[in-house]
Chain A
Amino acid sequence: MEYRRLGKSGLELSALSFGSWVTFGQQIDEDTAFACMEAAYQAGVNFFDNAEAYAGGQAEIIMGNVIKRAGWKRSDLVISTKIFWGGKSPNHSGLSRKHLLEGIRASLARLQLDYVDLIFCHRPDLYTPIEETVWAMHYIVSNGLALYWGTSEWSAEQIRTAYDIARREHLIPPTMEQPEYNMFHRERVEKEYRRLYDEIGLGTTVWSPLAGGLLTGKYNEGIPEGSRATLKGYEWIRQRIESEEGRRNIEKVKQLAPIAQELGCTLAQLALA
Chain B
Amino acid sequence: MKALDVVPKLTPAVMERIETILANKPEPEFDWRQI
Is A237 on the interface with B (CB-CB < 8 A)? Answer: no
Is B12 on the interface with A (CB-CB < 8 A)? Answer: no
Interface string of B20-33 (1 = CB under 8 A from A): 01101111110000
How many residue pairs bridge A and B at CB < 8 Å? Answer: 58
Task: Name B2's contact: one of A44, A184, A265 (CB within 8 Å).
Answer: A265
Interface range on chain B (Cβ under 8 Å from partner): 20 to 34
Is B35 on the interface with A (CB-CB < 8 A)? Answer: no
CB-nearest residue of chain A relative to B23?
A: A252
Tell me how many residues of A have a C-beta within 8 Å of chain B: 26
The segment from A22-30, A185-193, A200-208 found at the interface with B is A185-193
Given contacts A263-B14, A273-B10, contact A183 B22 (CB under 8 A): yes
Q: Is the CB of A268 within 8 A of B22?
A: no
Say what secondary structure dominates the interface of chain B. helix
- Could you say which residues of chain A place their CB within 8 Å of the CB of B24? 183-184, 186
Q: Is the CB of B1 within 8 A of A43?
A: yes
Q: Is the CB of B1 within 8 A of A1?
A: yes
CB-nearest residue of chain A relative to B2?
A: A269
Given contacts A259-B14, A259-B18, A263-B9, contact A186 B2 (CB under 8 A): no
List residues of chain A with CB under 8 Å of any chain B CB: 1-2, 15-16, 43-45, 183-184, 186-187, 190-191, 194, 252, 255-256, 259, 263, 265-266, 268-270, 272-273
